[in-house]
Amino acid sequence: MTYDFIIIGAGSAGCVLANRLSANPAHRVLLIEAGPTDWNPLIHMPVGIAMLVSSKGVNWDYSTEPEPKLNDRRLWWPRGKVLGGSSSINAMCYIRGNLGDYDEWAANGNPGWASSDVLPYFMRSQNQERGASELHGTGGLLNVQDLVYTNPLSGMFIEAATQAGYRRNSDFNGRNQEGFGYYQVTQKNAKRCSTASGYLNEAKPRPNLTVLTKCLTRRIIIAGGRAVAVEYERAGKIERADACGEILLCGGAINSPQLLMLSGVGPADELKAHGIPLILDAPGVGANLQDHLDACTIFKSPSGLTYDHTNDLLIGLKYFLFKKGIGTSNIAEAGGFARSKLAPDQRPDIQFHFVPAMLEDHGRKRLPGHGITLHACGLRPRSRGRITLGSADPKAKARIFANYLSDEGNHDLQVLIEAVRLSREILRAQALDGVRSEELHPGASQQSQSELTAFIRARAESIYHPIGTCKMGSDGASVVDSELKVHGIEALRVVDASVMPSLIGGNTNAPTVMIAERAAEWILRPRNQVQAA
């Protein structure tokens, strides 16, 4: 068949585009997803993230190459492989980033992406249950609500942060991002509001939208400098779909550059090494990889309030019968933003996520006893990595070279050391005296610069915010322009977190939804203008 729009990847961005582009019944839209439908009830029960963490059925299950600055460890990178993508497996924290981040994008050669430009699209996407305001919208398809249930330890943590000298903040997406409080979450009626449930479910009944799951896209077919078709594998057979309009690549920071390279668009040497015919030498494809690196400070606890050893059966029963209790929790209920002494401007440079449990190996390993964990990550890393091909076989995983802590001057390392020190300061505040005991990590004896450096190299992990590998811009290292069109190829755009030129100060899901809302307007604009005429 021939479609007006073919969307590759039904993740955080792809589901948004599927809804917006199919709203006009004259548009024939195809959405292709490599993973399954989001039928699994653990996806929709918020606390199910703790039970899905080891499930490969909805996860690409990536790992980096050995990281030289992290003791040659391979870091685990979970990415959603299911309708909704990573919005179906994330912790649901609704964070837009600092408004100054977008002004920086615009100042660096991306017109149309300043804070005043993007705010209307954040508001368009949002249904803020607290009500509309100058910064928040209602009526959107991404529902944002306060947590239904919070662990008492999360409240104690917020009090500890105030005792350590930080302000309370009830809205991290307000004018002032700094401070500590409860996260708002992308949930509706105590259920996860992924882009699949928020956007795609509304669009599925439309006869002009076709959704294919368990279909791996093999390549984009480019002829005469124009993207004209998509080749994909379904049930062991290779099929083709043609596009008379645009092809929209929404695979994310790993899959989007991989598919461009498999399609002949990428660094010439990389494609030659894998025997892929070169269509366009684009050295920026796969480059500029950035991620938030995270250090966890863990204390043991004498309290039985933690989530370490809960009765999962009782939690599930209470949730599915009444939509109440721990089952509604996103685990990372509280957190905050702070400026370290290394912050170059007024924007916070460290983010915290508090978890009332001891997290070992991303929660895949349970430790004996009870405890509390404070995640802390540097928000604007200077280190840059790259995605490369593992093989010309589309089924082979891309190779991830994150190059954490590789920046000249060791700024990223110094920020993380400060993050650990601030974490200790907060967790040792009086409010947690009755529920905090021995420091497990880094360990009370680990105090010096060299000891904290060793701790970070041995234990730091990703907090799952990769971006930048198809960055927007106008220089030779950029892949797409400011309207997300691939340089040098007609009728092809990339719409996902890979287009971000630099990391925003916070979780990346809400910004990815905003990017898709922004792109939908640009994509539809020429057609709307023709129809209006």
Q: Prior bond to 267 cis, omega within 30? A: no
Taking the C-alpha atoms of residue 294 and residue 335, their distance in angstroms, rounded to an integer, is: 14
Which letter does DSSP use for residue 36 in this model? Answer: -
Residue 362 a catalytic site member: no
Q: What is the CA radius of gyration of the chain?
A: 22
- Taking the mean position of all CA atoms in its chain, how far away is CA 15? 15
Taking the C-alpha atoms of residue 318 and residue 463, their distance in angstroms, rounded to an integer, is: 30
Torsion of CA 428, 433, 438, 443, to 10 degrees: 0
Specify whether the CB–CB gap between 199 and 140 falls below 8 A: no
Specify whether the CB–CB gap between 522 and 484 falls below 8 A: yes
Taking the C-alpha atoms of residue 242 and residue 236, their distance in angstroms, rounded to an integer, is: 20
Specify whether the CB–CB gap between 79 and 192 falls below 8 A: no
- Per-residue burial over 117-143, b if 16 or more Cβ lie within 10 Å, else e, is bbbebbbbbbbbeeeeeebbbeebbbb
Residue tagged active-site, from 136, 370, 441, 465: 465
Beta-strand ranges (E) seen in 278-369 are 280-281, 293-301, 334-338, 350-355
Name which of 149, 168, 150 is nearest 158 in CA terms.
168
Which letter does DSSP use for residue 266 in this model? Answer: E
Beta-strand ranges (E) seen in 282-369 are 293-301, 334-338, 350-355
Active site residues: 465
